[in-house]
Structure 1
Amino acid sequence: MSQQNAIHLHDGDLPADLDLGSVVAIDTETMGLNPHRDRLCLVQLSSGNGEAHLVQIRPTSLGGRGADAPNLKALISNPDVTKLMHFARFDVAVLQHTFGVDVPSVLCTKIAARLVYTFTDRHGLAYLCRDLLGVELSKQQQSSDWGAPVLSDDQKRYAASDVLYLHALWAKLEAMLIRENRRELAQSCYDFLSARAKLDLLGYEDPDIFSHRA
């Protein structure tokens, strides 16, 4: 990560006077992959200007504010703010479950990659950043303890890297979607993400209600 990238850690909520613009890259870190069991620990955000804002979410039992994050909730639920994510299906579900709000106006670089990067089955963020942007992302902290009361510098750098390059990555992928006449199809997928997340939270990931199984 470039030395010019700044990382700001916030306890419990975003500052009230912070303006991240109309397109905000967002990612989450949790204790695991089950939103009902594994709590949200960190929300990362970037306006694409080389700065990352990390909001540490700590439960009240550990001295934190829990889901009492009015500024963050206002941003993620604002339909006029585009939320840019990678694998948005999971992040939207976690955010909706934790904060009890809908998360509209979402773009997902993983869905975009799956629609136009059909010559490979590799659609992870690290691979796409390396292939499209020439940026190497370290994934060493991916499985670390995000519920720790104090995050290490390595954890903070890893978390920031998941949002710092999403604007540039989306620009590349959107151009490919337009070139291949799939931008409208992608938007239809994005418009469904909030409902898809609600289905997942209700347990309709398996069985999948869209499958033909009897």
Structure 2
Amino acid sequence: MDRIALEELPVVWVRDEDGLYQLIDEIDSVDVVALDTEFIKRTTYYPILALVQVNTGRAIYLVDAPRLDLQDFWAALIEVPTMVWYACGEDLGIFYLLAKNAPLDNVFDVQIGIAYLTGKLQAGYSQAVSEVLGVELDKGESQSDWLARPLTYEQECYAADDVRYLLALYEATKDALTQANTLDFVREDSTLYAHELHSTANMSDDALYLEFSAPHYTPVQIAALQRIVAWREVLARAINEPRTFIISRQALREIIDTMPQTIKMLARTTIHRASLRKYGDEIVRLIKEAANLPASEFPPLPPPTYRSKEKTFKKPLDKAVQAYSLAINVPENLLLRGRWISELLVMVAQDLPLDKLPAGLQGYRHDWAVNTILPLLYDYKTQIQEGFES
């Protein structure tokens, strides 16, 4: 890494259409760009994009997002061979919201690459830059007001540094992954993550309840949950306020647990007093509506949950993960997510076909999942079935 060259990369503000299209032309001429975003979403449903940072390898661009129509900019990024991000979850959420595009296939999340090299799943950007490149970054401006104009000198330096070293970090990480023969695995998991984020961003209101369901909920409670969560989502969008400003997660749990039939009963939960006054009647109405539904109109139940504490399959499963980890040089904690294990247990208990494999087990993990993990779990099929019934 030529640190002097990196530190001397020019920083260019993009504030008008001419500047934006010059940047788009430059993006069209390179194979890799590094990106980051700064946004505000503390008091709104929709995040307010304040800044997009772009490193083309030739310059660092600070795109003044509130002043510009970025549709052609998003289109150019969709076409670039590789978009490099670090911990891209929230960034791609905004990208999908504003660009309204199909799932991205050109994402490389360097945080995933670092995880493959170190086993650290949530290593921060400044930590990675320090450990890999030996550069210490100032993170003091992360919570500042990114909509303020002009930005302070410190804000501008922070924003530029978020992508200044990202291409170098990408190249160093890519080289190490190539040496470890795991680069293709990281590309695959980056694409998997980008597709999962697209699914989350485009989930229908009627399906959002699945995130909040609990194993002990009855079909009536699940029907109430579906209605309240969908209603809250529509309202939050309409008034552009965070969902939790309407009903917090804790209050939602209490409402479904108690199923209040009156405003007085609803008031015993931790729902915001302002929300109780504004929306209490509607919440009670939705609960009563769910209670009067015929069984044929209940929403789909969430996937069953393995409840038993007896997991005699865990030790052999751990051994299989350890053996595969050593065989392909991938940290154990990246091979089999807990969610995937839950889905495999359902597959075994219900004798589901292989096309029900989790998406994450349909790539490089596929043969191992089919030829090693599933046969291992099928040896414990009776116990697994009993675990869902207990």
TM-score where L is the length of structure 1 = 0.82
* CA gap 1:169/1:16 in 2 versus in 1, 3 angstroms: same
Measure, in 2, the Cα distance between the counterparts of 1:113 and 1:200: 24
Q: In structure 1, what is the equivalent of residue 186 of structure 2? A: 186
**In the superposition, relative to structure 1, how do residues 204 and 150 fare at CA in structure 2: closer, same or farther (>3 Å)?**
farther
Shift of 1:176: 2.1
User: Partner of 1:16 in structure 2?
Assistant: 21
- Number of equivalences: 204
After superposition, the Cα gap between the structure-2 partners of 1:109 and 1:200, relative to the gap in structure 1 and judged at 3 Å, is: same
Other-structure match for 2:117? 116
* Superposition deviation, residue 91 in structure 1: 1.4
Alpha-carbon separation, structure 2, partners of 1:28 and 1:74: 16
Q: Distance in 2 between matches of 1:141 and 1:110?
A: 21
The counterpart of 1:55, out of the listed 43, 48, 63, is 63
1:5 to 6, 9, 24: 9
* Alignment map for 1:171-210 (pairs within 5 Å): 171-201=171-201, 202=203, 206=211
Report the counterpart of residue 77 of structure 1 in structure 2.
Answer: 78
C-alpha change, 1:71 and 1:204, in structure 2 (3 Å) is farther
Contact 1:45 1:163 in 2 (8 A): yes
Name the amino acid aligned to 2:22: D
CA contact (8 A) 1:26 1:46 kept: yes
Q: Secondary structure at the match of 1:137?
A: coil
Distance 1:54 1:155 in 2: 11
Q: In structure 2, do the counterparts of structure 1 residues 33 and 47 end up closer, same or farther at CA, with 3 Å as the change threshold? A: farther
Matched residue SS, 1:145: coil
| Displacement of 1:199 | 2.6
The residue that corresponds to 1:163 in the other structure is: 163
CA separation of 1:180 and 1:141: change in aligned 2, threshold 3 A: same
Closer, same or farther: CA 53–180 of 1 in aligned 2, 3 Å: same
- Whether the aligned pair in 2 keeps the contact of 1:86 and 1:109 (CA below 8 Å) is yes
Q: In structure 1, what is the Cα distance between the partners aligned to 2:118 and 2:95?
A: 28
Equivalent position SS for 2:139:
coil
The percent of aligned pairs where both chains have the same amino acid is: 22
Superposition deviation, residue 180 in structure 1? 2.4
CA-CA distance at 1:162 after TM superposition: 0.8
Q: 1:29 aligns with which of 23, 38, 41?
A: 38
Residue identity opposite 1:73 in structure 2: W
Match status 1:45 vs 2:50 = no
Structure 1: how far apart are the matches of 2:180 and 2:157?
A: 35
Alpha-carbon deviations, 1:9-46, whole Å to 9, x = none? 11266531331311000111111489943221111001
Give the structure with the higher percent strand. 1
Unaligned runs of 5+ in 1: 59-63
Residues 158 and 191 of structure 1: is their aligned pair in 2 closer, same or farther, counting only changes over 3 Å? same
Q: Give the structure with the larger helix fraction.
A: 2
User: Per-residue deviation at 1:47?
Assistant: 1.3
CA distance in 2, matches of 1:172, 1:41: 30
Secondary structure (helix, strand or coil) at the match of 2:91 reads helix
| CA separation of 1:35 and 1:161: change in aligned 2, threshold 3 A | farther
**Does the residue aligned with 1:9 lie in a helix, a strand or coil?**
strand
Aligned-residue RMSD, C-alpha: 2.9
